Structure 1
Amino acid sequence: MKINKPSRINGRVPVLSAQEAVNYIPDEATLCILGAGGGILEATTLITALADKYQATQSPRDLSIISPTGLGDRADRGISPLAQEGLVKWALCGHWGQSPRISELAEQNKIAAYNYPQGVLTQTLRASAAHQPGILSDIGIGTFVDPRQQGGKLNDVTKEDLIKLVEIDNKEYLYYKAIAPNVAFIRATTCDSEGYASFEDEVMYLDALVIAQAVHNNGGIVMMQVQKMVKKATLHPKSVRIPGYLVDIVVVDADQTQLYGGAPVNRFISGDFTLDDSTQLTLPLNQRKLVARRALFEMRKGAVGNVGVGIADGIGLVAREEGCADDFVLTVETGPVGGITSQGVAFGANVNTRAILDMTSQFDFYHGGGLDVCYLSFAEVDQHGNVGVHKFNGKIMGTGGFIDISATSQKIIFCGTLTAGSLKTEITDGKLNILQEGRVKKFVSELPEITFSGKIALERGLDVRYITERAVFTLKQDGLHLIEIAPGVDLQRDILDKMDFSPVISPDLKLMDTRLFTDGTMGFTLPGATH
């Protein structure tokens, strides 16, 4: 498909309104959109202009959307405005749940819908930039992206096989097809008159460069939203993340904000300021903090870990309370290294970050086994130790980086509550009291679709734990073993009766550490390094 582009005059990048820019998007284009949750690096002005144009003119039609990272607010932002019948016919996303209106089109079989692991997806875009047909990876073996299962297809109308099983030197790999995008929406803070762009006010970089290279090298058009422009060659070369020759159109939005709904720039999040140790951020003593505290017990000095969104994301704050946050390094798959992990839809907007990598490189490190430990939230667990997060209660959420992270981390800590749906607990007198049981059992006999394979983890020799507010399990060859229970709960009534299968009860079953259930600090010291 040939894409028309506006011409440069004397080397200057064309500067257009968002409404003018989206007129260059033809029917059946493949649009790759940069951005993460909470407004991180989201080219909102361009997305809105495209949605408005289609609503008014029914053009362009039948777009294919590629979104490596889940952008949105779990409601109406992100790519949700593009959820108009006829505008989108096909989507390949790393994460779906941040833009639920797009997910609803997939759930209703109104678009073809695929889910690659987030890291794999960004790597296929890098492959596309190099005109490689795809990538080989063992990430995803034994999960729903494996073609022996669902092959990454999310609904009944999705037919084409994008993932194949191959064998090389007696080892299984998945071949992920690289889809070549020909339109890009990316964002930066500043660019000069030739399109060279810097990210000084942004939270991170994500895979902005990879997306721009993929679209440019496939003859496409790169549209970049920025907050301001400066004179040619006035940006420091080390601050430039996007070279100007990759950019075809610049849209200036002087009101561009770092995140949704906040100040234009939070200098703590951009890394310009740091919080000192006197600024103590704490969590109240509740089931969320209880799980994070118990998860911290699995950490070791000198470890490099990953923390995922959800109930697991409290571990950094707990470590800060205990004075051991500097004894290990937590990373986020989108690029941040170290610091205080953010929570909620703007996950990854960390404070006191030590370094920020591009997302593709971060996943290279993960895929190669660089993680000592990871902390991930779960939706459901079955008797084989499999975990499901990408679909839950009929809703498509997508895997995000879950598969990439859990496939090779030496220790995998899944965090969650034993039940869901209006669960209410309190911690008093060193005990857990269940005030109202959750309506939904999260430990089920069999998962219909698998996001984490217990079988593959055991074959790879990985250490797997499942930590809840009332019980701790470990995975062995014969299934889940119950190894700890909370003081104040009844084994049969509060644990076994709330599971659809019977775990192996360890002969060494013990109470969870009483320090977990007390106010104030625990007086916890991290064990020494294991390597």
Structure 2
Amino acid sequence: MKPVKPPRINGRVPVLSAQEAVNYIPDEATLCVLGAGGGILEATTLITALADKYKQTQTPRNLSIISPTGLGDRADRGISPLAQEGLVKWALCGHWGQSPRISDLAEQNKIIAYNYPQGVLTQTLRAAAAHQPGIISDIGIGTFVDPRQQGGKLNEVTKEDLIKLVEFDNKEYLYYKAIAPDIAFIRATTCDSEGYATFEDEVMYLDALVIAQAVHNNGGIVMMQVQKMVKKATLHPKSVRIPGYLVDIVVVDPDQTQLYGGAPVNRFISGDFTLDDSTKLSLPLNQRKLVARRALFEMRKGAVGNVGVGIADGIGLVAREEGCADDFILTVETGPIGGITSQGIAFGANVNTRAILDMTSQFDFYHGGGLDVCYLSFAEVDQHGNVGVHKFNGKIMGTGGFIDISATSKKIIFCGTLTAGSLKTEITDGKLNIVQEGRVKKFIRELPEITFSGKIALERGLDVRYITERAVFTLKEDGLHLIEIAPGVDLQKDILDKMDFTPVISPELKLMDERLFIDAAMGFVLPEAAH
């Protein structure tokens, strides 16, 4: 049953309380939720109202949730409040780990659970807006979303095939089914009395427009949370990102903040202010900085890259320290281009950003091979060069943009530590000292599920490196080759014994550059791009 929209009076968009708004959500509806980690574009007031209503009335029931980007705080925020048995029966997410209570339901087989690559998912919403059945893409071939593997299914109760293998002109592709949502929770900063909305205080746009179009064109209800309203036709047309005819309900939250906690808006993050070059931003010399420094060595002048969340996210600050940050462009899949990459749960809340695209367009660029290099964090690596991030230690994390980014980037740099679980290191006298070894080996013989396929990367001619605090590997046809080790570590005791397989030892094995281990600027000069 399609939801019934509240009427407009004299063209004015209905303005309701969040509690009134969620009363328009029927049982069995498909709800698409905008937002990214740390509170970015999260319609928190609407999410809270829906969660509270279900606690009190046990309605609406059996919702399906679509969440393209991981929103939340890796604890109780984001869509975690919706993790109530009976409220949600089905979920399709690009990323799961930011809202772990939803992941818990999937791990316990209490909901049907799917994972599309984040970019693919937002593109299927665009397809739903155009009344197309789905999209065809080679993104995901050879990974767990490939129907010859898990088909994007995350647990035992998930049975229906949403992804199919197809072939055109003797080339394999994946067909991803588009799911048309009935309800949207989106957010903006300001809207006028007819619903035209601007994002001046927000960090980015994500796929707000795509979601609103998908819901509107399929007869659903678009609910938009804003911080304030203004008179009709007083917003600059070039600032409007959501046209009013797409919006069915507005909920005003005057206490809406740009991110979780803190000031209502940080003008550096919104792009209104910039940090000048004299502002010192640096990382302490530790294993995270060591990995970021070594990763920077893979960058070239004029390159366009992507940086992912995790240990890789320090590369921008390291480049700033070395005075070469303006010699290349780092992007984030959620839309930001250039600037200083943020760290932590509000990843993508950058400073000094040069431009911001909508997320769907950013992924179009990635899928088409636009990236020269990407920097992604890994959870596990196997002897074939496969990487796993979407499940780790039994926990569902989801892929995020990992599959989209790593599928076509010309050079792929995976960053992480060799072991995990209480690993402690020190860098002294130009050497790396393992103070306390990690409990968990991250380089294992075989991955149970694959998020990045080494085989497919080699077939596509991609250059793949794995950078850790004590060793650097490259991927070749016969597997991983160890090409560098850190000064101060023992090859056998500290590297080979901490792996479940033996890599090929390069005959040209060398020490990692000594500049990486000094607590001062390295004097690094970015190499020219090869032509």
Q: Normalized against structure 2, the TM-score is what?
A: 1.00
CA distance in 2: counterparts of 1:484 and 1:174, whole angstroms: 37
Deviations 1:199-247 (A, max 9, x none): 0000000000000000000000000000000000000000000000000
Q: Distance in 1 between matches of 2:254 and 2:530?
A: 50
Within-5 A mapping of 1:147-296: 147-296=147-296
Q: How far 1:529 moved relative to its partner? A: 1.6
> Does 2:452 align with 1:483?
no
Structure 1: distance between partners of 2:198 and 2:507:
58
Q: C-alpha distance in 1, partners of 2:129/2:363?
A: 17
Question: How many Å apart are 1:436 and its aligned residue?
Answer: 0.2
Deviation of residue 280 (structure 1)? 1.2
User: Could you report, residue by residue, the CA deviation over 1:45-71 in whole angstroms, capped at 9, with x for unpaired residues?
Assistant: 000000000000000000000000000
Alignment partner, residue 297 of structure 1 = 297
Distance 2:267 2:435 in 1: 41
CA distance in 1, matches of 2:70, 2:288: 23
Secondary structure of 2:23 counterpart: helix
| Structure 2 unaligned residues grouped into runs of 5+ | none
Deviation at 1:266, TM superposition (A): 0.1
Query: Aligned partners of 1:117, 1:338: CA distance in 2, in Å?
Result: 23
DSSP 3-state at the match of 2:66: strand
Q: Distance in 1 between matches of 2:185 and 2:140?
A: 28
SS at match of 1:205: coil
**Cα shift readout 1:424-480 (whole Å, capped 9, x = no counterpart):** 000000000000000000000000000000000000000000000000000000000
Gaps of 5+ in 1: none
Note the alpha carbon deviations across 1:242-273, whole angstroms, 9 max, x for none. 00000000000000000001100000000000
Which digits, 9 at most, give the CA deviation of each residue in 1:356-389, with x for residues without a partner?
0000000000000000000000000000000000
Partners of 2:458 and 2:262 lie apart in 1 by: 45
For 1:63 and 1:294, locate their aligned partners in 2 and report how far apart those are by CA, in whole Å. 46
Whole-angstrom CA distance in 2 between matches of 1:448 and 1:294: 29
Alpha-carbon separation, structure 2, partners of 1:49 and 1:179? 25
What's the offset of the Cα at 1:501? 0.1
Partner of 1:443: 443
Q: Deviations over 1:457-511 (max 9, x none)?
A: 0000000000000000000000000000000000000000000000000000000
Q: CA deviation at 1:530?
A: 2.1
Cα-to-partner distance string for 1:105-154 (whole Å, 9 max, x where unaligned)? 00000000000000000000000000000000000000000000000000
Q: CA deviation at 1:2?
A: 2.0
CA distance in 2, matches of 1:57, 1:274: 48
Query: What secondary structure does 1:237 align onto?
Result: coil
Shift of 1:3: 1.2
Distance across 2 between alignment mates of 1:167 and 1:174: 8
How far apart, CA to CA, are the structure 1 residues paired with 2:524 and 2:279? 20
Corresponding residue SS for 1:330: strand
Displacement of 1:321 in angstroms is: 0.2
- In 1, the alpha carbon distance for the partners of 2:225 and 2:404 equals 30
Cα separation, 2, equivalents of 1:197 and 1:80: 27
Give me the whole-angstrom Cα distance separating, in 2, the residues matched to 1:10 and 1:316: 51
1:363 aligned counterpart, secondary structure: helix
Q: 1: distance between equivalents of 2:502 and 2:89?
A: 44
Residues paired across the two proteins, number: 531
SS in 2 for 1:195: coil
Q: Verify: 1:389 aligned to 2:389, yes or no.
A: yes
CA distance in 2, matches of 1:171, 1:55: 50
In the aligned structure 1, how far is the partner of 2:207 from the partner of 2:309? 19
Separation of aligned partners in 1, 2:39 and 2:448: 33
- Give me the whole-angstrom Cα distance separating, in 2, the residues matched to 1:2 and 1:332: 36
- Aligned-residue RMSD, C-alpha: 0.3
Instruction: Provide Cα deviations, 1:184-209, integer angstroms capped at 9, x if missing partner.
Output: 00000000000000000000000000
In 2, Cα distance between equivalents of 1:5 and 1:159 = 33
Hey, what does 1:502 align to over in structure 2? 502
C-alpha separation in 1, matches of 2:359 and 2:405: 13
Separation of aligned partners in 2, 1:139 and 1:254: 41
Separation in structure 2 between the aligned mates of residue 166 and residue 147 of structure 1, nearest angstrom = 10
Paired-residue identity, %: 93
Structure 1: 4+ residue segments shifted above 3 A:
none
Q: What is the DSSP-based 3-state SS (H/G/I as helix, E as strand, rest coil) of the residue aligned with 2:381?
A: strand
Q: Deviation digits for residues 161-205 of structure 1, max 9, x if unmatched?
A: 000000000000000000000100000000000000000000000
Partner residue in 2 for 1:518: 518
The TM-score normalised by the length of structure 1 is 1.00
What does residue range 8-157 of structure 1 map to in structure 2 within 5 Å?
8-157=8-157
**Aligned residue runs from structure 1 range 461-472, under 5 A:** 461-472=461-472
Q: CA deviation at 1:39?
A: 0.1
Name the counterpart of 1:405. Answer: 405
Tell me the distance in 1 between the aligned counterparts of 2:298 and 2:313.
15
CA distance in 2, matches of 1:306, 1:2: 40
